[in-house]
Structure 1
Amino acid sequence: MTGRHPDLARGGTEMTESQSRSVGTAAVDQALADLSEGEKVWAGLSLAERGRLLDRVHELTVAHAQEWVDAAAGIKGLSAASPLRGEEWMSGPYAVATATALLSASVAKLARGESPLAGADFGTAPGGRTTVQVLPLSVYDRLLLSGFSAEVWLEPGVDGATARREAGLAQRDPSRTAGVGAVLGAGNITSIAPLDTLYELIAHNRVVALKLNPITDPLLPVLTKVLDPFIAIGAVRILTGGADVGSYLVQHDLVDHVHMTGSALTHDAIVFGTGEEGARRKAAGDPILDKEISSELGGVSPTVVLPGEWSRADIEFQAEHLATQRLHNNGYNCVASQVVVLSAQWPQREEFLAALRAAIDRAPARPAYYPGSDDRVAKATTTYPDAERLGGGARVLVSGLRPEQFPPLLETEYFAPVLGVIELPSTGAEFATQAAAVANEQFVGTLGVNVIAHPHTIRDLGGDFDAMLENLRYGTIAVNAWTGVGYLSAAATWGAFPGHTLEDVQSGIGIVHNALLIDRSERTVVRGPFRPSPRSLLHGEMSISPKPPWFVTNRTASTTGRLLTGFAGDPSWMRLPALFASALRG
């Protein structure tokens, strides 16, 4: 993305690349000079004043939500009538509206001398861990996400009293700022860049130079409006440009910290450089970057399907669920499921695969807007020439593999509509143990893993199921849900499993979101209902949730997403009837 920028032309003459670079670097210099002064203003603000800034961003997000969604849909080639616009509502303004509301509530508690975890529900998890319930947090959560829950598992040895005492992170001492942070925004999900900016400001007390991914440059006008309260005081500056501008920014003497969302290859280029010299530096542990970097880098996400006795309706719903895990945003998600892990001994294996094939094939068509998508699809079909082409040839399903054929699928993040299936020769508790081991040891990345299991299977496995969750080394684990629900849950943590290094970065270092400002978290575990309502109630699951609005086949997703965003801006019982009516028609 380092080519010329025709929009920078003067007097009808296109700028040369060197002129464009000069303009970009001058903009970086000015932005960082502004932020150096803005840090002083930020340091002088009280917690109450910071809370009011968050409240204003919350209001502006909802006020400009339609403009946001229109810009995002334009980038992704979605028509005004497409239900797929629901993805842009929910993963764009809705995510930022819910995050700002909860961050403001946490800052308000700190201003009153309370912990953000005052009143939180604590529990226990395998290995003697303490957990914090982060979903549901209100009666509205219990209604709108009925049957869904999430808990943050704290690091072993951290108890509830310690968590309450340490919550608040850098806002426990707001006058002690941490310099200037550079945030390199993502090009796929439009809430990532503003959410990462807010997390730098609040969790780390750093003012922010946000560099947009060139794919999302059309969002510049609306993001400038939404983040204006922080821009106005010099705490945020938004930059555009290609890789040359990003490189100049992260290496700048006035930048104290870098946070990026992207690929491990981009991370390594920033930290160690490129080519043979970059490889040598990485091997020697000799970075060229002279400051700390945090990152969220994706990976190859598995979905483990535990064998059980399923009805035909269960099979069709979960096949549609899995198709969504891959095809949401056309597969351009860092946590899109790429590989299904099945038991070769499951009697319903072929029936499930047939339903999965049909669900992928009938999912709505959409443009392959993300750069390089077609090349990555072609690479998958070259590696696996027997792969099936579905959805008019735009999607790829790889199945029937021998174990020696697994590695490319488990080690290459295709970031495209490519889904693979691998089978393990075991069942029951042995399969759960084997699947966890394969996910940990053979898959690249540790961002998210999904587990689909019939409630009876979970009950029958008992402690073996708990051990499986404990053993999975992933930052977010979703049971009968998609890990994307964890992304959308503002109080949940989001990031790789802790412990990665610059030399072996996997899915990254550090976390974001975490609106309760919890310290020393280890992972988030999300749970959802195995069946949608009303079948859930008929089978004893206490959930009234219909087909989730993030399903790619949800017919009213756009309307439901718009209504959810409005509700996030102004929660009210009066808004619920229309919301429920739209959700039920999905």
Structure 2
Amino acid sequence: MLDTLDSLLKRLVAGGLRHAGREAPARAALAMDAARCIAACASRWTETAVAIKQTSLATMTGSGCVGSGSGCAPGFRFPEIWAEEMATGPLATLRLLLVTARALQEVAANRTSSHTARLLLVSALSSGPASEKNSAPTVSVNVVPARELYDHVIFRGHSGAVRCDNPGGSREAFVEAWQREAVERPAEGGVALVLGAGNVSGLAPADAICQIFEHGRAVLLKLHPLHAPLVEILSAALEPLVAAGLLAIVVADAGWAQAALSAPLVTHVHLTGGQAAFKALVWGSTDAGLPDRKPVLTKPITCELGNVTPWIIVPGRYTSAQLRCQADTVAASIAHNSSLNCIATKVIITCRSWRQRDEFLARITDRLQGLPPRPAWYPGSVAAWETLTAQQAPENGLLPVVFRTNLDPQAEPQWLAREWFTPAAAEITLEADSVAGFVTQAAAFTHALPGTLAASVTAPDGGAVADKQCVAMLLERLHYGVVALNCWSALAYAWGSVPWGGFPGATLNDPASGIGTIHNPLLLPMVRQSIIRAPLVVWPKPPWFPWHPRGFQLAHGVVQMYAAIANGSRGTASLLRMLPDVLRGA
């Protein structure tokens, strides 16, 4: 490395001090500058991320593919990877910067966000077991859709609401707390060491952006070794933050990372990874340790550690279109990124007596079996696949998705004992003779699974009033940072304005899915959890469905639209240019 650790940290300390003196308008301008750079680097970022996943670039031509900025899909075996990498890398990061800039502009004008106009008081839960009651009232702040980003078109019928504790009890008390948070939290200062994940190229940049704009910290970003080819590209994509002395991006060995952890100038640590990485970092080993054991890490840490992600299917009558769309959404949430996501669906929970169960599972199975096996690019994914499935992996290095139906958790507990970073998922059934009985069992089952990051629920539109009330109570009582109705919880992460992290209450001894949150550009105080909702049938078809014939073109089109918005345009022309690809993918 050209720069020593000491010189990097001194530069970041100086940049952080300058950043502490920036008012909200200047911070908003900095975020918008970074958004424009992301847009300019989107194609190179995507190309490199695809190459990391061991897919051939040999079929690309200088004039016919993403490298030329034309938005053409490369004609090779895994076109869905291009759509995934464009969407989860530059697109998601660009959107995060846009919502961050917009929030800072509103803070400058109003001392808080205009989302106060969409703030609702919610009473504390008054029924159910005492352990499930909130100790204080909450407020609900609607943060999605963002009309300036055309969410009402791209995400028709979707919504996202953030629940925050409100011990003051009144709307005025919460707004006062929010205004105070919007001033104080971005001025925390210091230098954060961000230890990036290797499964998605956009995670580490997003973690850094949140530290810089939500906490006012400069960031030393250590990328996962898999992402070493992205150092130069990400440094260019986030050049305004690098030039401001707020960001340095490196790839280094474990010894260097340990030196950074021990450096006095590092004041905070943020990790996105697994339980083993957290234990090694905090406790010095992967053993659980004793409750009275002292951590070896003496600095404050926030983290996101993944989840055994459940999807609950509430029994009832669904139309054919609803059943197909929901089955496709579940299948896509399993297959996306070779199931190497912290929120890839790993267990589907159904009612054994549900009359449409066989049809629903057959649709999921057909979708997954229709996908070609994909490269086992992530370290350990082959060994995990073999351990979980008790099969030998194919010698060609391509792993098919394994979907087990009617799993017996007692006979094969390994399926649900940990988050498996490999393309596999299972379905379990519960015996219930009513919706009320099913949702009660489903909630208890999910709460016994490792993790509290995110969960999804599919529920019918019709049915008795009492059944609808049961579903509403289920959404309220699931102890997850994000609860998604009729959609994959990953949307909450992609939107950027929905706080992302485990359910409150995690500790160093029991971190569950992590401590703290990211993606809170609105600087909301006392975040408890978020609930996102979608229709049972969505249109346009989501481009992240791996079988979408125009997924890459649509992801590229959204990047172009966001780029136009970052450059001062309304983005309408870019939106209209996507219509042919929307219709071809319908």
Give the TM-score range, shorter chain.
Answer: 0.7 to 0.9
Q: Structure 1 residues 456 and 156 mapped into 2: Cα distance closer, same or farther (>3 Å)?
A: farther
| Contact 2:185 2:215 (C-alpha < 8 Å) held by counterparts | no
2:363 is equivalent to residue 355 of structure 1: yes
Q: How does 1:3-402 map to 2 (within 5 A)?
A: 27-78=4-55, 80-81=74-75, 82-117=79-114, 119-125=116-122, 127=125, 128-138=137-147, 140-155=150-165, 157=167, 159-167=170-178, 172-173=183-184, 176-274=187-285, 279-280=288-289, 282-382=290-390, 394-402=400-408
What is the aligned partner in structure 1 of residue 577 from structure 2? 578
**Residue 354 of structure 1, CA deviation:** 1.8
With over 3 angstroms needed to count, the CA separation of the structure-2 counterparts of 1:159 and 1:152, relative to structure 1, is: farther
- SS of 1:183's partner is strand
Letter in 1 for 2:492: G
Out of 165-174 and 146-155, give the one that drifted further.
Answer: 165-174
How far apart are the structure 2 equivalents of 1:406 and 1:53? 52
Select which of 548, 556, 574 maps to 1:554. Answer: 548
- Between the aligned partners of 1:395 and 1:120, the Cα distance in structure 2 is 45
Rounded to whole Å, the distance in 1 between the matches of 2:399 and 2:19 is: 52
8 A contact 1:170–1:204 mirrored in 2: no
Q: Indicate the residue corresponding to 2:479 in structure 1.
A: 473
Pair 1:437-2:444 in alignment: yes
Asked whether the 8 Å contact 2:86–2:555 carries over to 1, the reply is yes
Q: Comparing 245-254 with 302-311, which one deviates more in the overlay? A: 245-254
Identity score, percent: 31
470-479 or 565-574, which deviates more: 565-574
1:347 is displaced (CA, Å) by 1.7
The CA deviation at 1:506 is 1.0
Residues 1:289 and 1:381: Cα distance change in structure 2 (over 3 Å): same
Specify the code of the residue in structure 2 equivalent to 1:318. Answer: Q
Assess if the C-alpha contact under 8 Å between 1:97 and 1:565 holds in 2.
yes
Shift of 1:452: 1.1
Deviations 1:230-259 (A, max 9, x none): 211211111112333222222222111100
Q: List per-residue Cα deviations over 1:384-407 (Å, max 9, x = no partner).
A: x799xxx98622122333341353
Q: In structure 2, do the counterparts of structure 1 residues 163 and 244 end up closer, same or farther at CA, with 3 Å as the change threshold? A: farther
- Asked if 2 retains the 8 angstrom alpha-carbon contact of 1:450 and 1:482, the reply is yes
Secondary structure at 2:4 match in 1: helix
1:567 partner amino acid: M
Shift of 1:169: 6.9
The one-letter code of the counterpart of 1:579 is M
Partner-residue secondary structure (3-state), 2:51: helix
Structure 1 residue identity aligned to 2:194: V
Report if aligned partners of 1:343, 1:424 keep a CA contact under 8 Å in 2. yes
Please give the alpha-carbon distance, in whole angstroms, between the structure 1 residues aligned to 2:172 and 2:340.
40
One-letter amino acid matched to 1:373: S
Confirm or deny: 8 A CA contact 1:317 1:531 kept in the other structure. Answer: yes
Distance 2:465 2:93 in 1: 37
Q: Which amino acid aligns with 1:552?
A: P
1:63-100 deviation digits (Å, cap 9, x = unpaired) = 11111111111112345331431111111111111111
Change (3 A) 1:377 1:174: closer
2:522 counterpart letter in structure 1 = L
Deviation larger for 97-106 or 166-175: 166-175
Query: Partners in 1 of 2:296 and 2:145 — Cα distance?
Result: 44
Residue type matched to 2:579 in 1? F
Q: Do the aligned residues in 2 keep the contact of 1:177 with 1:205 (CA within 8 Å)?
A: yes
Q: How far apart, CA to CA, are the structure 2 residues paired with 1:261 and 1:169? A: 28
Partner of 2:59: none
* Aligned partners of 2:307 and 2:452 also within 8 Å: yes
**How far does residue 469 in structure 1 lie from its aligned partner after superposition?**
1.0
Distance 2:562 2:453 in 1: 27
What is the aligned partner in structure 1 of residue 131 from structure 2? none
Equivalent residues of 2:375, 2:399 under 8 A apart: no
C-alpha contact 1:486 1:492 (8 A) present in aligned 2: yes
CA-CA distance at 1:581 after TM superposition: 2.3
Alignment of 1:495-514 (within 5 A): 495-514=501-520
Code of the aligned partner of 1:138: R
Residue 195 of structure 2 contacts residue 221 of structure 2 at CA under 8 Å; is this kept in 1? yes
**Aligned partners of 1:482 and 1:342: how far apart in 2?**
16
The alignment partner of 1:324 has SS state of helix
**Quick check: 1:171–1:205 contact (8 Å CA) kept in 2?**
no
Asked if 1 retains the 8 angstrom alpha-carbon contact of 2:116 and 2:141, the reply is no
Equivalences, count: 542
* Residue 60 (structure 1) shift: 0.4
- Distance in 2, matches of 1:175 and 1:314, equals 43
Q: Is the 8 A contact 2:121 2:171 kept in 1?
A: no
Indicate conservation of the 8 Å contact 2:181/2:525, yes or no. no
- Contact 1:78/1:85, CA 8 A, preserved across alignment: no
What secondary structure sits across from 1:513 in the alignment? coil
Gaps of 5+ in 2: 57-73, 126-136, 565-569
Using the TM superposition, give the Cα deviation of residue 168 of structure 1 relative to its aligned residue in structure 2, in angstroms.
6.0
In the alignment, is the contact (CA less than 8 A) between 1:122 and 1:130 conserved in 2?
A: yes
Give yes or no for the alignment of 1:518 onto 2:539: no
Secondary structure of 1:120's partner?
helix
Residue identity matched to 2:351: S
Aligned CA distance change for structure 1 residues 124 and 452 (closer, same or farther; 3 Å): farther
TM-score, length basis structure 1: 0.88
Contact 2:275 2:305 in 1 (8 A): yes
Q: Which has the larger displacement, 454-463 or 350-359?
A: 454-463
How far the C-alpha of 1:363 sits from its partner, in A, is 2.3
Deviation at 1:119, TM superposition (A): 4.8
Deviation string 1:295-348 (CA, Å, 9 cap, x unpaired) is 001010000011112334433332221111111111110111100001111122
CA contact (8 A) 1:116 1:167 kept: no
Relative to 1, partners in 2 of residues 1:309 and 1:373: Cα closer, same or farther, differing over 3 Å? same
Given that 2:159 and 2:532 are in contact with CA atoms closer than 8 Å, whether structure 1 keeps it comes out as yes
Q: Secondary structure at the match of 2:270?
A: strand
Q: 1:486 aligns with which of 488, 492, 498?
A: 492
Aligned-partner Cα distance in 2 for 1:578–1:415: 37
Instruction: Look up the SS of the partner of 1:112 in the other structure.
Output: helix
C-alpha distance in 2, partners of 1:527/1:564?
21
Q: Distance in 2 between matches of 1:335 and 1:453?
A: 20
Give the TM-score normalised by structure 2: 0.88
